[in-house]
Amino acid sequence: MNDSKEMSVYDHIGELRKRLIIAAVFFVVATIGSFFLAEPIIVYLQQADEAKELTMNAFSLTDPIKIYMQFAFIIAFVITAPVILYQLWAFISPGLYEKERKITLSYIPISVLLFLGGVSFSYFILFPFVIEFMTRISERLTVNQVIGINEYFQFLFKITIPFGILFQLPVVVMFLTRLGIVSPMFLAKIRKYAYFVLLVIAAFITPPELISHLMVTIPLFILYEISIFISKITYRKVEKLEQELLTENE
């Protein structure tokens, strides 16, 4: 472990301030770049198979600019996320052992990939199913759907972004296990309560319809079991590292 304990509270605050400024500056730059990316992405999503047969309408003069700005900020946040995670790692890394630094640094690309994986799963698998189901119900009820562009993309955000965040579960569990906050035994013990929480979360993400609810709930349950498995591996590695350090100090 480094000599981070010798740093004063003022030094820690200064270091944190430096990391926050770097992340903030990068976010501003990414936001400026995102203004150029937002339009083609919005157009592409409107021309995708899920939305091709839907006519988008603006029920307010501000709806197009609202969606445009939301996309710009979301894109900027996704671009900035690795930088934010790296700055967080750089802030806490002086208090970690050398092996822990290398391992925790690898969490950053894993976290980004899991987020993109969650968003991709929800967009390419869950979202088309929900749109098709809703359209089919409208046709059966002879309801003429008038789709607002704001409502369409808000619904898209509601399904995809939470799923990307929920896919961070394995990384969060791995990190908490390494810090000694949770253990695989604890995660297994609270399994039924965790399942209930995930069930409730799935109900908030999906429409009030059983099949789409199951399409979200089952992957989340699998994700939790994967998290327990990863926690077991991490727990063993932590015990091994602690044993090696004890041996070295003897």
Q: pLDDT tens digits for 167-178?
A: 999 988 988 888
- Tell me the pLDDT band of 6, cut-offs 50, 70 and 90: low
- Tell me the pLDDT band of 188, cut-offs 50, 70 and 90: very high
The reported pLDDT for the residue numbered 50 is 67
Q: In the predicted model, what is the mean pLDDT of residues 10-21?
A: 84
What does the pLDDT look like over 60-114, one tens digit per residue?
Answer: 889 999 999 999 999 999 999 999 999 988 888 777 777 777 777 888 898 989 9
pLDDT surpasses 80 at 12: no
The reported pLDDT for the residue numbered 67 is 94
Q: With both helix axes pointing from N to C terminus, report the angle between 149-166 and 63-92 in degrees, rounded to the nearest 10.
A: 20
The reported pLDDT for the residue numbered 138 is 82
The reported pLDDT for the residue numbered 2 is 46
The reported pLDDT for the residue numbered 245 is 66
The reported pLDDT for the residue numbered 29 is 96
Residue 246 identity:
L
Of the listed ranges 61-65, 136-140, 204-208, 245-249, the least confidently predicted one is 245-249
Q: How many CB atoms lie within 10 A of CB 127?
A: 20
Q: How far apart are CA 105 and CA 86, in angstroms?
A: 8
- What are the residues whose beta carbons fall under 8 Å from the beta carbon of 131, sequence distance 6 or more? 50, 51, 54
Q: pTM here?
A: 0.81
- What are the residues whose beta carbons fall under 8 Å from the beta carbon of 246, sequence distance 6 or more? none
Q: In the predicted model, what is the mean pLDDT of residues 189-201?
A: 92
The reported pLDDT for the residue numbered 249 is 62
Q: How many CB atoms lie within 10 A of CB 113?
A: 12
Q: In the predicted model, what is the mean pLDDT of residues 153-159?
A: 89
pLDDT surpasses 70 at 44: yes
- Tell me the pLDDT band of 224, cut-offs 50, 70 and 90: very high
The reported pLDDT for the residue numbered 5 is 46
The reported pLDDT for the residue numbered 20 is 92
pLDDT averaged over the chain?
A: 85
The reported pLDDT for the residue numbered 186 is 93
